């Protein structure tokens, strides 16, 4: 009986009630506004990705400009001038953007402008001297073009 009374007292205490409250609501991280275009790019749906990007312009986002450049470059009829402009805008916003540096270098390889591609590679070597995927990808693209 003593245990039953002790248990009843504990359950009625404010400390116990505080411990039994539900956990705080965990709000999900902000949704990626570029999730839909990223999915379309991953599916190689270039026309869909381009439409999705144009439907939600984000002029201050280096990621948006980088994805726009990538999508323009991957079209059946690549739009090199517009893609280059998008990459350069991404780099104006965020000079250390690894993806924009890599993709601009790859665009230069596609255009046969290897000196400019090597300039992008030099930037990536400074940004990630121990190596990174972007640097390695651009190195392979330049080597394959020789």
Q: May I ask the CATH architecture of the domain 32-145?
A: Alpha Horseshoe (1.25)
Token pair listed for 1: 């009986």
Residue 65 near residue 86 (C-beta atoms within 8 A): yes
Residue 50 near residue 74 (C-beta atoms within 8 A): no
Residue 39 has pLDDT above 70, yes or no: yes
Q: What is the pLDDT of residues 80-108, one digit of tens each?
A: 999 999 999 999 999 999 999 999 999 99
Q: Domains of the chain: which residue ranges?
A: 32-145
Say whether pTM exceeds 0.75. Answer: yes
Quote the pLDDT of residue 146.
Answer: 82
Q: What is the pLDDT of residues 112-134, one digit of tens each?
A: 999 999 999 999 999 998 879 99
């Amino acid at each position: 009986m003593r245990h039953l009374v002790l248990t009843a007292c504990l359950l009625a205490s404010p400390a116990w009630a505080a411990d039994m409250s539900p956990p705080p609501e965990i709000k999900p991280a902000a949704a990626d506004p570029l999730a839909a275009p990223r999915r379309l790019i991953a599916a190689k749906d270039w026309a869909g990705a381009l439409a999705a990007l144009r439907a939600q312009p984000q002029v201050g986002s280096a990621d948006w400009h980088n994805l726009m450049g990538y999508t323009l470059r991957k079209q059946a009829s690549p739009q090199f001038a517009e893609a280059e402009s998008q990459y350069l805008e991404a780099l104006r916003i965020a000079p250390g953007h690894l993806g924009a540096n890599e993709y601009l270098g790859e665009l230069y390889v596609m255009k046969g402008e290897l000196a400019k591609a090597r300039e992008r590679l030099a930037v990536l070597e400074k940004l990630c001297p121990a190596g990174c995927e972007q640097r390695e990808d651009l190195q392979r693209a330049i080597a394959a073009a020789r």
